[in-house]
Structure 1
């Protein structure tokens, strides 16, 4: 197994030119620090490889970190300390916030932190808390969430994790068209080549911008629930901070979804797995121009005046004079309303119910207490943007209708409930509706479609029963009260195709390692808090902690003491566990596995 490293030139005159690549075997990275010279190789092109002459060489200095992940129970104290961060007042005194403060590069802290909080369904309240702190230091509404704070980095990382499928269904078809059948789009007079027609190029660029923009503003129904929940919190926090600015509620959301999500994905599609490789220079330039346009159009719905005056390039200003600002502004506002609302909405610009899916499946009669084949009837199901219905036959009047806004959860049903495969349940306040699809693919498609159209429902459930209530008890948890709270956390908050596998213990171990590396900073910060609490005069030795946020020295000191104590206990656990593994476990066993390849 090896890691591939690509080298590109991103100069002022020549943009993103591929220079060469190397492959480094993973086994050589197991050293604490590895330095070596490698000759650059041409990009792999199927069966043949080009000449290696004149590609130059690249020197790498790679640091390889190997975490030793202990059994889950060892991390209980540290994990609980981190997961309770959103409840700490002030948020700057929380363990998660302190982690970001002591790490030199916030990204090192943000990645495992976001994944851990996401895994335990604690990300939204934490983002809301750090965003509120961020807004306290924001003096002007037009700069809301424009910096690289902990709040903005957490949202950025969250969007990368949960928004992959959203980008795929929204942008991939049009990005593929641009990359595979490119049209000349250069409109900068300085960059034009001999024979280029600027009017035709401008028409080509306008065609691409219109198509990308149209796909984005029509995509709100596909936006993952978690992103909608975060956008809702940011929107209302910004409106609360600047109550006299009616546009800030939109700029708070557009600064993320347009500027930090869609625009970035357009200009770097390979980074978001929308394309297999970095695009060539001409295509890259086209994507850059489209990205600039999308950023501008996204900001039109959140500002009171036109953005034309802010363009540094005259040619972009001329390009945007062909746009009808009012038309695009309304589309942007409608889209931002859809992705940051807690009420179920229909796709932008549609007043009539939209047909989303229909097909024949089996429905179990509601309220029956016995298991039997007669309880399952073949019915025709229909899903629109307003309601979910079933009929005796296609084109007949519906027998039963569930308004979309009343659906509380859509989940799979354990096969053991009725000894039938491919079953799912629709929870809507009355008896659960149990449905059997014809196959597993069909079941997944229906669950996905129902989850997408109900993702903004305000009263979504957090817990459900994975089995049915039969013969006086729930088969899953044996509870005897039919309306008792579910025994399993809902898994369909995010559609199945956007869910990710997160190892919570591994992320906690990574955070423990970061705390260990920065132990001296933790101790200095603890001393600073003690000094501030005892002596209220000027701070001593400001270089040690002047860059840290200390709103409440007592609360911060208390959290720091917990962190240090927890990390020291984990240090002891690591030492004991390593000694036990090396002394008692057989080399090659599960407790002491072989590291690296076997020759």
Structure 2
């Protein structure tokens, strides 16, 4: 059994940010921090005061995290980046609403005295002697302090207050991991008991000292349980400064999920119910877990549920039957083929998440070369006369700026060139598409063809597939390549406009050209001949895509998304050379290109192609890759052993224990993560609990329902009206079985909770 805690964070957009550049604009980006650790950084949006990021992160956390903070900065090519403001959310504020936070929040000013981090280790004793009460404070060490000096370190010392007395430790120079090991004694003054306050400061030779943080203990704690251990540093208590919106605002979506994951055997009955549902008839299935979940969820909750279900069935080797089950339900209740899969149903969301989970390597292989060309060449392309900037393109003659017609012709040539490369890459990729995706599309093709066999609906079977593959996969990736890991940065405004034109064209091809000339964008007409020529190639591609045997699905049950030998992270890092016994070289670090897989970490001088990754992503990937290692250390040295001492804590013993706690519990969720069926089933169980009462009322407490064979119809409401008595009896039995499974899981959770609280003796539990 394990407890899990994760944050779903989406940095949506900003508005009304102040201008930090002389041009009257800013180049904003956002940093996400959990307590003292930076976990994510958005891309920079160039020249914008109302940036849109739309970046989403899943952060797996330790259970004792305290605060989530968002810092907005303006990127500068010269000098330090300018801090614009921040948003701080406490753990309690996030957990207050189970649905999470989804709102605009004003940025507040960044106060250096409030930007504290790290911990201090103390041992306090309360003594009595002939002279009265005495407090003995053993200040041992501190770790991960904020860097206050230009060297990236600090010169920390501790100041202890008790009543009217104060005493200081010595100053440790140039370290963020000081070790004092000093015992300070203070005598009690007459009067009421006083709290103990320990402050950390950075000593400066010139100017005032910089505050590093503090801890405070009330008199009751000192008397009953004197502090002994590590304590998190906090800022001075002060009222939160409200900028009144003068620094702008961030739109954030944050949801905290905390749960207890039981051993696998407790989830087996629910997993079997889910598997039985997807392998059975979908049309009469109103009481299965999947039918209940679809009825209960909507919006972002449905998208999260779809991701969980896809991962769960991928882990069981049943992703194909699961998607086919949802497709049958969706197709059966659709009467107008023009509305098929157009809503955000569970079937649509599941197929969309399925493509992202299993098709990302395929997407990168198909689109990466063309997207890289668009970013690197930075060609000006525009067909809309209202948006044309004639001065932005290359001059055609010495008579002045090019005409609108010349710009249109040049743009048309560039667009058709890029589109030709995109279409060629897509239509030639049928054999490289993952087998499990091809099978899912084959089943989709068959179900739609069976439902709409008429000649006038000949295109529906193609549109069903292209609606997912082109409109929900290829086109969004072209429009926002950063969100699909195709680029490290968002596009600048000119490149973003070019990508928008390409995405619109790919959408038109995915619609098989049926809406060409029907919209308001008549300026796209010069592209229509090329788009219509591409439609026939796309039809042929879709025919080849679904021409796959059932036996070709690779992997079998519990298939991993990424093989152990596959690269899960790559990019440049600085590798430190092994220091010789003599004088250390001046430059001991070399830039090397690293590859990380589940089996090994390797490097070389240069890659075959470059893909720069953020340090936080590297740390997360390394932590996940080393998770099964039982020999991981609880502490490490963030510095190097150089000149006969560690540069971080200044200790002279090479074998000294690490001075910084390893943050192994903080990792970023990624599509490459291994499947965890137990965690996914636990989430499904939580969702089903929300609909338990509704399920009981609908199937087991409906006294107006006559289930005798003589009854030709069923009296009731909703989906039960007109149901076959035999089908209704099966639905009632399925509902009763589902409620029984949920009750068993309820009891298992209660018993585990009682064991943790020590109210029951540990022993065998559950089924």
- TM bucket, shorter chain: 0.5 to 0.7
Decide which of 279, 290, 294 is 1:100's aligned counterpart.
294
> Equivalents in 2 of 1:19, 1:229: separation in Å?
43
Q: May I ask how many residue pairs the two structures share in their alignment? A: 427
> Equivalents in 2 of 1:39, 1:565: separation in Å?
48
In the TM superposition, what is the alpha-carbon distance from 1:159 to its structure 2 partner?
0.4
1:560 aligns with 2:735: yes
In the TM superposition, what is the alpha-carbon distance from 1:216 to its structure 2 partner?
0.8
The residue that corresponds to 1:140 in the other structure is 336
Decide which of 238, 250, 270 is 1:78's aligned counterpart.
270
> Equivalents in 1 of 2:374, 2:746: separation in Å?
53
In 2, are the aligned partners of 1:37 and 1:60 still within 8 Å (CA)?
Answer: no
> Equivalents in 1 of 2:694, 2:555: separation in Å?
47
In the TM superposition, what is the alpha-carbon distance from 1:241 to its structure 2 partner?
1.2
In 2, are the aligned partners of 1:34 and 1:61 still within 8 Å (CA)?
Answer: no
> Equivalents in 2 of 1:210, 1:573: separation in Å?
58
In 2, are the aligned partners of 1:8 and 1:18 still within 8 Å (CA)?
Answer: no
In the TM superposition, what is the alpha-carbon distance from 1:146 to its structure 2 partner?
2.8
1:73-97 Cα distance to aligned partner (Å, 9 max, x none): 1111111111111133324432222
In 2, are the aligned partners of 1:35 and 1:59 still within 8 Å (CA)?
Answer: no
In 1, are the aligned partners of 2:382 and 2:498 still within 8 Å (CA)?
Answer: yes
TM-score computed with the length of structure 2 as normaliser: 0.50
In the TM superposition, what is the alpha-carbon distance from 1:136 to its structure 2 partner?
2.2
1:214-264 Cα distance to aligned partner (Å, 9 max, x none): 111111111000110011111111111111233333222212211121112
> Equivalents in 1 of 2:268, 2:7: separation in Å?
35
Structure 1 residues 558 and 537: CA distance shift in structure 2, 3 A: closer
In the TM superposition, what is the alpha-carbon distance from 1:546 to its structure 2 partner?
9.9
Structure 1 residues 147 and 6: CA distance shift in structure 2, 3 A: closer
Structure 1 residues 101 and 3: CA distance shift in structure 2, 3 A: closer
Decide which of 219, 230, 236 is 2:446's aligned counterpart.
236
> Equivalents in 1 of 2:408, 2:438: separation in Å?
40
> Equivalents in 2 of 1:71, 1:187: separation in Å?
59
The residue that corresponds to 2:678 in the other structure is 505
In 2, are the aligned partners of 1:33 and 1:61 still within 8 Å (CA)?
Answer: no
Counterparts of 1:124-135 in structure 2, within 5 Å, are: 124-135=320-331
Counterparts of 1:481-496 in structure 2, within 5 Å, are: none
Counterparts of 1:353-364 in structure 2, within 5 Å, are: none
Structure 1 residues 61 and 237: CA distance shift in structure 2, 3 A: closer
Structure 1 residues 150 and 528: CA distance shift in structure 2, 3 A: farther
Counterparts of 1:106-255 in structure 2, within 5 Å, are: 106-196=302-392, 197-245=407-455, 246-255=458-467
In the TM superposition, what is the alpha-carbon distance from 1:510 to its structure 2 partner?
0.9
Decide which of 752, 758, 761 is 1:577's aligned counterpart.
752
Structure 1 residues 502 and 313: CA distance shift in structure 2, 3 A: same
Larger CA Rg, structure 1 vs 2: 2
> Equivalents in 1 of 2:468, 2:706: separation in Å?
38
Decide which of 1, 6, 13 is 1:8's aligned counterpart.
13
In the TM superposition, what is the alpha-carbon distance from 1:319 to its structure 2 partner?
2.6
What are structure 1's unaligned runs of at least 5 residues?
12-16, 345-404, 412-421, 423-439, 442-497, 586-599
Partner SS, residue 52 of structure 1: strand
1:516-563 Cα distance to aligned partner (Å, 9 max, x none): 2343333333357664446967646x7xx999x999543333222222
In 2, are the aligned partners of 1:530 and 1:557 still within 8 Å (CA)?
Answer: no
In 1, are the aligned partners of 2:74 and 2:83 still within 8 Å (CA)?
Answer: yes
1:335 aligns with 2:335: no
In the TM superposition, what is the alpha-carbon distance from 1:72 to its structure 2 partner?
0.7
> Equivalents in 2 of 1:320, 1:529: separation in Å?
58
> Equivalents in 1 of 2:728, 2:689: separation in Å?
22
In 2, are the aligned partners of 1:263 and 1:294 still within 8 Å (CA)?
Answer: yes
In the TM superposition, what is the alpha-carbon distance from 1:59 to its structure 2 partner?
7.3
In 2, are the aligned partners of 1:263 and 1:295 still within 8 Å (CA)?
Answer: yes
In the TM superposition, what is the alpha-carbon distance from 1:289 to its structure 2 partner?
1.3
Structure 1 residues 91 and 172: CA distance shift in structure 2, 3 A: farther
In 2, are the aligned partners of 1:100 and 1:109 still within 8 Å (CA)?
Answer: no
Structure 1 residues 152 and 18: CA distance shift in structure 2, 3 A: farther
> Equivalents in 1 of 2:489, 2:465: separation in Å?
30
> Equivalents in 2 of 1:163, 1:572: separation in Å?
39
Higher strand share: 2
Counterparts of 1:240-279 in structure 2, within 5 Å, are: 240-245=450-455, 246-279=458-491
Structure 1 residues 7 and 232: CA distance shift in structure 2, 3 A: closer
